[in-house]
């Protein structure tokens, strides 16, 4: 009987392993750049074509390899990092399992050029789908160059699952930024389709962050630093007023390795408690150094998750340090016990005794018992004597209290009672307090309920409209129509706005430029770190321009859809969500009427752009049933 279990051929095993190691072109970028860092290079270049689908090339000036190592590095589980299992708990390098190059070579055309220092000749090696095509001796500069071409050429199904170039390029940018931020002492350069995207010279940590995320980032950063026996960390956190809706600028590095940790993220968020608006996320760039034996980095294929020995202590230290830094730099509110000099007693009054004031009360004074002339004269005399007297004493004369009411009865009796209006028998009163048209208008009047709903009476009952969802539907169809017919109205700004964004966000804005201009935006200039806006859609206020753009980029951070209509649809939804009137906003009666009329003029007034109902109808019969219970 033949055996059922068989060993897989090496090329098949490598293709299976590639499914874990190489998920997309960004995975290749990560592995090759980390290998260049491990090779002790101080100048690394990344060259990308077609978002990595056609070419991913990494060139470094590191140590290079000899001819034997150049061929052996493509074998499975071949590594220079570990010799024993115990070495897994004392790692100071990036890669260590020896699977990356073997997996990459199994699904792409690989060309490697490498040369060691002080050597005249190097090695030029070509591999296609795990098959060695050629290995030659060549004159090469010091370092190593890996060119990965036609990724997934022999696995068309995997290639078809790749996203659009925008999405794949965003993932490549993420990996490039993570490696570049972890090693500010290395010069990094990145090119995409022949154009230079980044040129990051060797610098300190703060300057590296500013070079990646733009010049305005410097004013947003608050430094943090702490040194204990458990952990030593440094870095920067963002000021609360610069918090954004997305989580794009949140980075943890442990021993110069980027990681993702929801537990540590919660510690940072706890330090910001009470300082952030609802739904906003702070920026942070935190670099932790812990003893290698206290962490396990081999728990995830991409090595972005780490297991700590003492997470609770790490949580407490990180939270306290971030909170202390925010308070130290006057970002968080602190108690101020400084004395105000203006509240001190003047020097001339320092030794004086307090004088108790004495008030004179005339108990017998009757304003109704004397003529106005005498009263005014007496008042004048009283005031003069009151002003001239040094000490005042209560008068002992007391008048009878009954005298206060003398003459009041006769005055009341002189007031005549109103005459009763008599109607002749059979006479009908035709006059009415309200006209018939006023009554009809009163019945059809709209009401705003809790600044959230608009109640509008109809013949069968009433309509209750969600004002935010209704406005989203109106704006959504307006923006979509403007982008389709390309006849949007724009309000020109007297003073253009300068809006600053990161390199990734600016690349997305360039792709959206035509669609945004069709909604009413006017971009006069687009620079490497900011854009100049000279016109806005009529529905967008000048103060809301940056909020609308940030919300749009946040909603589209995973990339634009491939179809043109889908792109316009995504932009219209995002802008409608940002510009629409919010719950809690007071609407005048005319504004309510315009909103209701605009809603029912839409093609689909029943639902918002996000598929939620915009209004409900409550019939009179339904109300009667409630009272019949």
CA dihedral for 606, 608, 610, 613, sign (positive or negative): negative
- Give the residue from 122, 170, 158, 144 showing the smallest Cα distance to 34: 144
Which CATH number among 3.30.470.10, 3.40.1280.10, 3.30.230.10, 3.40.50.620 corresponds to the domain 205-328? 3.30.230.10
Determine the 3-state secondary structure of 277 from DSSP. coil
The structure tokens 């007391």 sit at 398
As a whole number, mean pLDDT of residues 378-407 equals 50
CA distance linking residue 383 with residue 379, whole number of Å: 6
CA distance 480 to 475: 8
Residue 572 pLDDT exceeds 70: yes
Most confident of 58-62, 395-399, 567-571: 58-62
CA dihedral 215, 217, 218, 219 (to 10 degrees): 120
* Contact call for residues 474 and 466 (beta carbons, < 8 A): no
What is the distance between the alpha carbons of residues 317 and 581, in angstroms, rounded to a whole number? 42
The strands making up 109-115's β-sheet, listed across from edge to edge, are 131-138, 122-128, 109-115, 143-149, 55-60, 43-49, 187-192, 195-200
Contact criterion met (CB below 8 Å) for 295 and 284: no
Q: Are 540 and 520 in contact (CB under 8 A)?
A: yes
The residue among 278 and 474 whose pLDDT is bigger is: 474
User: Within 188-240, where are the H helices?
Assistant: 205-213
Tokens of 141: 């500069």
Q: Mean pLDDT score of the chain, rounded to an integer? A: 80
Q: Give 380-389 contacts, CB < 8 A, sequence gap 24+.
A: 386/360, 389/360
What is the model's pLDDT at position 401? Answer: 57
Give me the residues paired with residue 533 across strands: 497, 523
Superfamily of domain covering 453-617? MutL, C-terminal domain, regulatory subdomain (3.30.1370.100)
pLDDT band at 390 (very low <50, low <70, confident <90, very high): very low
Long-range contacts of 163-168 (CB under 8 A, 24+ apart): 163/24, 163/559, 164/559, 164/560, 164/561, 164/562, 165/50, 165/51, 165/53, 166/51, 166/508, 166/511, 166/559, 166/560, 167/558, 167/559, 168/24, 168/25, 168/26, 168/51, 168/52, 168/53
* Burial class for 72, CB neighbours closer than 10 Å (0-12, 13-18, 19+): middle
Within the chain, how many helices (H) and strands (E) appear? 18, 22
**Number of other CB atoms surrounding residue 218 within 10 Å:** 13
| For the chain, domain boundaries | 10-200, 205-328, 453-617
604: helix, coil or strand? coil
| 302 C-beta neighbours (distance < 10 Å), count | 13
Distance CA 77, CA 88 (A): 14
pLDDT for position 4: 78
Q: Which residue has the higher pLDDT, 612 or 557?
A: 612
Instruction: Give 528-542 pLDDT, tens digit per residue.
Output: 788 999 999 888 888
The percentage of the chain sitting over the pLDDT mark of 70, rounded to a whole number, equals 76
pLDDT digits (tens, 9 = 90+) for 237-253: 999 888 887 777 899 99
Per-residue pLDDT at 392: 45
Question: What CATH number labels 10-200?
Answer: 3.30.565.10
Output helix, strand, coil percentages for the chain, rounded to the nearest 5.
Answer: 40, 20, 40
Read off φ and ψ for residue 457, nearest 5 degrees.
-70, 140
pLDDT band per the 50, 70, 90 thresholds, residue 360: confident
d(CA 346, CA 422): 76
What letter would DSSP give residue 556?
T
Adjacency order of strands within the sheet including 257-259: 221-227, 232-238, 284-289, 250-254, 257-259
Q: How confident is the model at residue 402 (pLDDT cuts 50, 70, 90)?
A: low
Q: How many residues does the chain have?
A: 629
Q: How confident is the model at residue 341 (pLDDT cuts 50, 70, 90)?
A: low
What's the pLDDT at 385?
Answer: 45
pLDDT for 46 beyond 90: yes
User: Which range in 317-331, 375-389, 405-419 is most confidently predicted, on average pLDDT?
Assistant: 317-331
The alpha carbon of residue 226 and the mean position of all alpha carbons in its chain are separated, in whole angstroms, by: 27
- DSSP letters along 491-515, please? EEEEEEEEEE--HHHHHHHHHHHHH
> CA nearest 501: which of 519, 528, 522, 524?
528
Predicted pLDDT of residue 532: 93
Q: Alpha-carbon distance 254 to 233, whole Å?
A: 9
HSE of 278, CA atoms in CB hemisphere, 13 A: 0
Contact present, 585 and 451 (Cβ < 8 Å): yes
Task: Select the more confidently predicted residue: 551 or 199.
Answer: 199
Question: Between 306 and 415, where is the model more confident?
Answer: 306
- Please check whether residue 403 is in contact with residue 369, taking contact to mean a CB–CB distance below 8 angstroms: yes
Backbone angles phi, psi at 4, to 5 degrees: -90, -40
145 pLDDT band, cuts 50/70/90, is very high
Contacts of 455 by beta carbon, 8 Å cutoff, 6+ apart: 446, 447, 448, 449, 462, 463, 464, 465
């Amino acid at each position: 009987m033949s055996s059922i279990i068989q060993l897989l051929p090496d090329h098949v095993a490598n293709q299976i392993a590639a499914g874990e190691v190489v998920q997309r072109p960004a995975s290749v970028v990560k592995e090759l750049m980390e290998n260049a860092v491990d090779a002790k290079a101080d100048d690394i270049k990344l060259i990308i074509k077609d978002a990595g689908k056609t070419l991913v090339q990494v060139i470094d000036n590191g140590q290079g390899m000899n001819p034997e190592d150049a061929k052996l590095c493509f074998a499975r589980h071949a590594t220079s990092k570990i010799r024993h299992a115990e070495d897994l708990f004392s790692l100071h390098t990036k890669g260590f399992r020896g699977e990356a190059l073997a997996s990459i070579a199994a699904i792409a055309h690989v060309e490697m050029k490498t040369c060691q220092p002080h050597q005249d000749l190097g090695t030029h090696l070509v591999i296609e789908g795990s098959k060695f095509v050629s290995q030659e001796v060549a004159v090469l500069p010091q370092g190593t160059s890996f060119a990965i071409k036609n990724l997934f050429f022999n696995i068309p199904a995997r290639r078809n699952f790749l996203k659009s170039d925008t999405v794949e390029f965003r993932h490549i940018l993420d990996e490039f930024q993570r490696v570049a931020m972890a090693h500010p002492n290395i010069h990094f350069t990145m090119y995409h389709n022949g154009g230079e995207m980044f040129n990051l010279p060797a610098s300190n940590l703060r300057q590296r962050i500013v070079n990646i995320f733009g010049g305005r980032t410097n004013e947003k950063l608050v430094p943090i630093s702490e040194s204990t026996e458990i952990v030593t960390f440094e870095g920067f956190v963002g000021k609360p007023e610069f918090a954004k809706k997305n989580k794009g600028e949140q980075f943890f590095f442990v021993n110069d390795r980027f990681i993702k940790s929801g537990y540590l993220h919660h510690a940072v968020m706890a330090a910001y408690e009470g300082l952030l608006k609802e739904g906003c996320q702070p920026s942070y760039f935190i670099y932790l150094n812990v003893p290698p034996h206290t962490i396990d980095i081999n728990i995830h294929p991409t090595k972005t998750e780490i297991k700590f020995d003492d997470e609770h202590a790490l949580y407490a230290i990180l939270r306290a340090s971030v909170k202390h830094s925010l308070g130290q730099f006057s970002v968080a509110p602190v108690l101020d016990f400084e004395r105000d000099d203006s509240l001190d007693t003047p020097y001339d009054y320092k030794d004086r005794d307090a004088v108790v004031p004495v008030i004179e009360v005339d108990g017998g004074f009757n304003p109704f018992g004397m003529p106005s002339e005498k009263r005014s004269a007496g008042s004048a005399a009283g005031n003069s004597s009151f002003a001239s007297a040094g000490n005042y004493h209560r008068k002992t004369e007391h008048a009878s209290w009954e005298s206060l009411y003398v003459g009041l009865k006769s005055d009341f009796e002189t007031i005549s009672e109103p005459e009763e209006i008599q109607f002749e028998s059979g006479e009908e009163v035709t006059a009415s307090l309200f006209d018939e048209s006023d009554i009809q208008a009163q019945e059809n009047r709209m009401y705003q309920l809790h600044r959230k709903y608009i109640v509008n009476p109809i013949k069968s009952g009433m309509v209750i409209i969600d004002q935010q969802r209704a406005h989203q539907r109106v704006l959504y169809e307006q923006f979509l129509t403007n982008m389709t017919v390309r006849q949007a109205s724009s309000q020109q700004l007297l003073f253009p706005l300068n809006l600053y964004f990161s390199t990734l966000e600016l690349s997305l804005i360039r792709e959206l430029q035509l669609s945004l201009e069709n909604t009413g935006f006017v971009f006069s200039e687009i620079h490497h770190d900011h854009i100049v806006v000279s016109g806005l859609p009529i529905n967008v206020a000048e103060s809301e321009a940056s909020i609308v753009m940030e919300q749009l980029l946040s909603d589209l951070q995973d990339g634009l859809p491939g179809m043109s209509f889908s792109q316009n649809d995504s932009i219209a939804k995002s802008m409608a969500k940002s510009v629409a009137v919010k719950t809690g906003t007071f609407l005048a009666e005319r504004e309510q009427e315009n909103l209701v009329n605009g809603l029912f003029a839409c093609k689909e007034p029943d639902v918002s752009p996000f598929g939620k109902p915009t209004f409900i109808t409550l019939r009179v019969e339904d109300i009667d049933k409630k009272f019949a219970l």
